[in-house]
Structure 1
Amino acid sequence: MTTPLIVVAAVFERDGRILACRRAPGRFDAGRWEFPGGKVEAGETPENALVREIDEELGTSIEVLRAVDRTATHVGERVIDLASYLVRPLSDYPTTSSDHDTLRWVAKTDLAALRWALPDLPTVARLTA
């Protein structure tokens, strides 16, 4: 059995809208939408990994508020164990990303209309329930 890849994602909410990020060309799953985040490194807690990843990817310092979802999803031969968290920026909301070509604020009711990366779908379902 394959060891799951442990990944974390940030859910930013502002005025009833959620931040969705589109994977840039040349990256795995390019063109699909996701919540920003990344891999948990050895010795990191998921929350610490999320703070680090969002600083690296979006240049934004955050506070992790609470868990939204945690689901393991099979993507080809891999298992992605994605934990998503509601977060709050400690300064400005992000406007650019090193991993994404578009950042969009989307109404919760419109989230399901985007073409999401498979591991992010359980979080989308939880947010739109």
Structure 2
Amino acid sequence: MQLNTIKPAAGAKHAKRRVGRGIGSGLGKTAGRGHKGQKSRAGGFHKVGFEGGQMPLQRRLPKRGFKSLARPYNAEVTLSELHALTSEEIDLLTLKAVGLVSELAKTVKVIKSGEISRKVSLKGIGATAGAKAAIEAAGGTVA
């Protein structure tokens, strides 16, 4: 195979439709636009979703739901999940490594759900008041 012999696959290339080029072309006179009406005229078009003055679909339907952009970046960890970890010093990277929080998580907060009976040291991780009290009661620290 030579560079000068390369050709596109059969049917991959096709001629551009040239409208308004006489009756024999099949696209003469009205050039495939039909007769009369806004869509047949030069410059006569409307925005996407326009329904001729009828209330558009996106305005007829009720507004529902909301997805916060901050949601995937704030994660929660329970006390029982912390208790199951083997390491004593816990930070965001540790939690991501063991798969407790998403890789996208930017902040983590410990919530009081479950029990913790071993000493853990939290670095750069928030905790609710109840969770902080439980960790400190077990001999751990929250920094």
- Which bin holds the TM-score, normalised by the shorter protein? under 0.3
Q: Which has the higher contact order (CA 8 A, sep 6+)?
A: 1
TM-score normalised according to structure 1 size = 0.24
Larger Rg: 2
Q: Which has the higher strand share?
A: 1
TM-score normalised according to structure 2 size = 0.22
